A and B are shown apart, each in its own frame.
Chain A
Amino acid sequence: MTGLLIAGGRVVDPVMALDAVRDVRIRNGVVAEIGEHLEPLEGETVLNVAGAVVAPGFVDMHVHLREPGFPQKETIATGTEAAVRGGFSSVACMPNTNPALDAPATLQWLAQSVQRFGRCRVYPIGAITVGRKGRESCDFAALAEAGAMGFSDDGDTVADAGVLAGAALRARGVAGVFISHCEPEDRIVARDLVIAAESGKPWHLAHLSTREALELVRQVRAGGTDVTCEATPHHLTFTVADALEIGSAARVNPPLRSEADVAALREAVRDGTIDALASDHAPHTEAEKLDAANPAPGFTGLEIAVGAYAGALPDLPMMRFVELLSTNPARILGIDAGTLRPGAPGDVTIFAQRSWIVDPSTFASKGKSTPFAGRRLPCKVLATIVGGDLRYCEPELAG
Chain B
Amino acid sequence: MRIRRSLIDLDDLTAEEIAQVFEQTAAFEQTAPGRRLAGKTCVNLFFEESTRTFTSFNMAELRLGADVVNLAPRNLSFTSKGETLGDTAITLGAMGVSVLVVRHPEAGFPQRLALGFDGHVVNAGDGVHAHPTQALLDIYTLIEEFGDLKGRAIAIVGDVLHSRVAHSAIRGLSRLGTTVVLVGPEGFLPSTYAGESVRVERDFDAVLPNVDAVILLRIQRERFAAMPISDEEYVAGYRLDRRRLGLLRNDAIVMHPGPYNRGMELDDSVLDFAGWRYARQVHHGVAIRMAVLDLLVNARSL
Contacts and interface: CB of A to CB of B under 8 A. Distances in A.
Interface of A: 67-72, 75, 77-78, 98-99, 105-106, 108-109, 112, 117, 285-287, 290, 293, 360-362, 368-369, 373
B170 to A, nearest CB: 11
Given A98-B108, A109-B3, A290-B161, A71 B8 contact: yes
Contact of B111 (A69, A105, A112, A285): A69
Contacts of B224: 287
A67 B8 CA distance: 12
A99 B161 CA distance: 26
A119 to B, nearest CB: 13
A68 B111 contact: yes
18 contacts: A68-B111, A69-B112, A69-B115, A71-B107, A72-B107, A72-B127, A72-B128, A72-B130, A72-B167, A75-B9, A98-B112, A117-B11, A286-B190, A287-B223, A290-B161, A362-B195, A362-B196, A368-B193
A210 B127 CA distance: 38
B162 interface: yes
Contact of B108 (A72, A112, A286): A72
A248 to B, nearest CB: 11
Contacts of B129: 71-72, 285
Contacts of A77: 11
Contacts of A285: 107, 128-129
A373 B194 CA distance: 13
A47 to B, nearest CB: 24
A117 B195 CA distance: 21
Contact of A71 (B3, B111, B161): B111
A118 to B, nearest CB: 13
Given A68-B111, A98-B112, A109-B115, A290 B128 contact: no
A362 B190 CA distance: 15
Interface of B: 1, 3, 8-9, 11, 86, 107-108, 111-112, 115, 126-130, 161-162, 167, 187, 190-196, 198, 223-225
B151 to A, nearest CB: 20
Contacts of B223: 287
A293 B167 CA distance: 23
Contacts of B3: 108-109, 112
A290 B160 CA distance: 13
Contacts of B108: 69-72, 98
Given A70-B108, A71-B9, A72-B127, A287 B1 contact: no
A109 B111 CA distance: 11
Q: Which of A99, A106, A112 has the most CB of B within 10 A?
A: A99
Contacts of A362: 195-196
A293 B225 contact: yes
A99 B86 contact: yes
Contacts of B198: 361
Contacts of A360: 192
Given A72-B167, A287-B224, A360-B192, 16 more contacts: A67-B111, A69-B111, A71-B8, A71-B9, A72-B129, A72-B130, A75-B9, A78-B11, A109-B3, A112-B3, A285-B129, A287-B128, A361-B192, A361-B198, A368-B192, A373-B192
Nearest to B225: A293
B25 to A, nearest CB: 24
A77 B128 CA distance: 19
A108 B1 contact: yes
A13 B3 CA distance: 40
A77 B11 CA distance: 8
Given A69-B108, A362-B195, A99 B115 contact: yes
Contacts of B1: 105, 108
Contact of B192 (A75, A78, A108, A369): A369
Contacts of A287: 128, 161-162, 223-224
Contacts of A290: 161, 187, 190
A68 B127 CA distance: 16
Contacts of B111: 67-69, 71
Nearest to B198: A361
